[in-house]
């Protein structure tokens, strides 16, 4: 058998460790997962009810056109229904884009470090990946522009960026978009959109009127708390959507993800409360870092990247033994950092106590 050459030696995605596995391995009764930027408050109760109401519909394929959720998202964000494409998580929309646009004679431009799935999917398609070092966690858009040539097909702006949590502001993004050649697709990956609180974050949806080469990605996995159901979407002009839609498998969401996402969309109060709590939690993380003179990257997301000046794996191991699953920065391009999802107020308090003890007793990194 001969698989694509680029698949040989390609590592599989390593997700955050599952809670039950950590409990079993370490004999812990309580484990808190702060590793994958999920919503610690879960989802709107309306979403759970919608799943229960749909429970009898397992034998019938889901609506491949996603008509109901399509109509609800379109009306919520003020676009036409034919401007949307739904994926099994926004991960799958990234896959569609790479499959549709990239091949061995093309290249794609990303920031570095950024969300790993752009590079992975581009590599699978055999495209060259041009990674442009970020400046203090923020995309260097000028340097990214310089990497674009006739063979560039996609440029990725992860905004806010995972794993740094930092963002590209409106002026910088508009300036960039204006200068990207029209043959290059600009992807604005806005997985953490709902958590953003700054005023100068780019509002990209209105830009679709001017730019045919713009695609916006959003997801129900983060603030909406539906990561388990796998539903995210892309927004672009209808011609771009119809170009990539044939790549999409016929029934790529489930009846339950459609129902839950539609119900979750109606609960603005839930999202608002979660965002307020997240903003407060981030403030507490920043205060903790300031108190202990730890560098952190200012975050517009529901996670924070903290530099412990110690190999991230060591901090990860220490916290794991104490019942907290976080992400070591070593695999994320920030070797002395740890990325921590903001938990509930109680979880964060417990985490701060554990971290404080670790820092004061200097048990790690000595």
Ligand X SMILES: Cc1ncc(COP(=O)(O)O)c(C=O)c1O
Query: Minimum CB separation from ligand X for residue 62, in Å?
Result: 17
Virtual torsion, Cα 105, 111, 115, 116, nearest 10 deg: 40
Check binding of 165 to ligand X (CB under 6 A).
no
Q: How many residues touch ligand X (CB under 6 A)?
A: 13
Neighbours of 64 (CB within 10 A): 13
Calculate helix-pair angle for 116-124, 90-101, nearest 10 degrees: 40
Check binding of 303 to ligand X (CB under 6 A).
no
Stretch of residues binding ligand X (CB under 6 A), selected from 19-27, 86-94, 175-183, 263-271 = 86-94
Q: Name every residue whose Cβ is closer than 8 Å to that of residue 325 and which is 6 or more positions away in sequence.
A: 16, 17, 19, 22, 31, 32, 33, 34, 35, 319
| Residue listed under structure tokens 């608002």 | 272
| Termini Cα distance of the chain | 49
Q: Name every residue whose Cβ is closer than 8 Å to that of residue 52 and which is 6 or more positions away in sequence.
A: none
Neighbours of 26 (CB within 10 A): 12
Measured from the CB atom, the residue of 322 and 339 that comes closer to ligand X is 339
- Footprint of ligand X on 14-73 (CB under 6 A): 37
Check binding of 225 to ligand X (CB under 6 A).
no
Measured from the CB atom, the residue of 115 and 316 that comes closer to ligand X is 115
- Binds ligand X (CB under 6 A): choice among 125, 189, 194, 314: 189
Check binding of 123 to ligand X (CB under 6 A).
no
- Binds ligand X (CB under 6 A): choice among 191, 223, 262, 265: 191
Residue nearest to ligand X (CB): 89
Check binding of 326 to ligand X (CB under 6 A).
no
| DSSP per-residue codes, 65-120 | T-HHHHHHHHHHHT--GGGEEEESSHHHHHHHHHHHH--TT-EEEEEES--HHHHH
Beta-strand pair 84-87/232-235? antiparallel
Measured from the CB atom, the residue of 90 and 134 that comes closer to ligand X is 90
Beta-strand pair 303-307/337-341? antiparallel
Site string for ligand X, 193-222 (x = CB under 6 A): --------------------------x-x-
Stretch of residues binding ligand X (CB under 6 A), selected from 8-16, 84-92, 334-342, 353-361 = 84-92
- Do residues 118 and 140 make contact, with C-beta atoms less than 8 angstroms apart? no
- Binds ligand X (CB under 6 A): choice among 43, 158, 235, 319: 158
Check binding of 134 to ligand X (CB under 6 A).
no
Measured from the CB atom, the residue of 22 and 158 that comes closer to ligand X is 158
The binding site for ligand X (CB under 6 A) comprises 37, 89-91, 115, 158, 162, 189, 191, 219, 221, 227, 232
């Amino acid at each position: 058998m001969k698989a694509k050459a680029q698949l040989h030696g390609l590592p599989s995605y390593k997700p955050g460790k599952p809670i039950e596995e950590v409990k079993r391995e370490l004999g812990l009764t309580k484990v808190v997962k702060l590793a994958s930027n999920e919503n610690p408050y879960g989802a709107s109760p309306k979403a759970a009810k919608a799943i229960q109401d749909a429970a009898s519909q397992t034998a019938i394929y889901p609506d491949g056109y996603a008509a109901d959720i399509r109509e609800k998202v379109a009306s919520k964000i003020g676009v036409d229904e034919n401007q949307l494409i739904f994926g099994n998580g926004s991960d799958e929309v990234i896959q569609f884009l790479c499959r549709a646009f990239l091949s061995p004679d093309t290249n794609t431009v990303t920031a570095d470090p950024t969300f790993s799935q752009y590079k992975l999917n581009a590599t699978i398609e055999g495209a060259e990946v041009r990674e442009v070092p970020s400046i203090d966690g923020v995309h260097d858009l000028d340097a990214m522009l310089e990497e674009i040539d006739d063979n560039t097909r996609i440029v990725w702006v992860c905004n806010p960026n995972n794993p740094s949590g930092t963002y590209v502001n409106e002026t910088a993004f508009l300036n960039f978009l204006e200068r990207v050649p029209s043959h290059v697709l600009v992807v604005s990956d806005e997985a953490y959109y709902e958590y953003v609180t700054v005023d100068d974050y780019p509002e990209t949806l209105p830009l679709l009127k001017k730019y045919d080469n713009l695609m916006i990605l959003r997801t129900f996995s983060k603030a909406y708390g539906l990561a388990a159901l796998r539903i995210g979407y892309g927004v672009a002009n209808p011609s771009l959507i119809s170009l990539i839609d044939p790549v999409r498998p016929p029934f790529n969401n489930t009846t339950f993800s459609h129902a839950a996402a539609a119900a979750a969309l109606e609960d603005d109060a839930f999202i608002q409360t979660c965002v307020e709590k997240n903003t407060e939690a981030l403030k507490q993380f920043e205060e903790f870092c300031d108190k202990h003179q730890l560098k952190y990257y200012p975050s517009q997301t529901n996670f924070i990247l903290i530099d412990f000046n110690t190999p991230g794996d060591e901090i990860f191991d220490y916290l794991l033994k104490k019942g907290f699953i976080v992400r070591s920065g070593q695999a994320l391009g920030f070797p002395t950092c740890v990325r921590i999802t903001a938990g509930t107020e109680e979880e964060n308090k417990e985490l701060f106590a554990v971290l404080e003890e670790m820092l004061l007793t200097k048990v790690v990194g000595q």
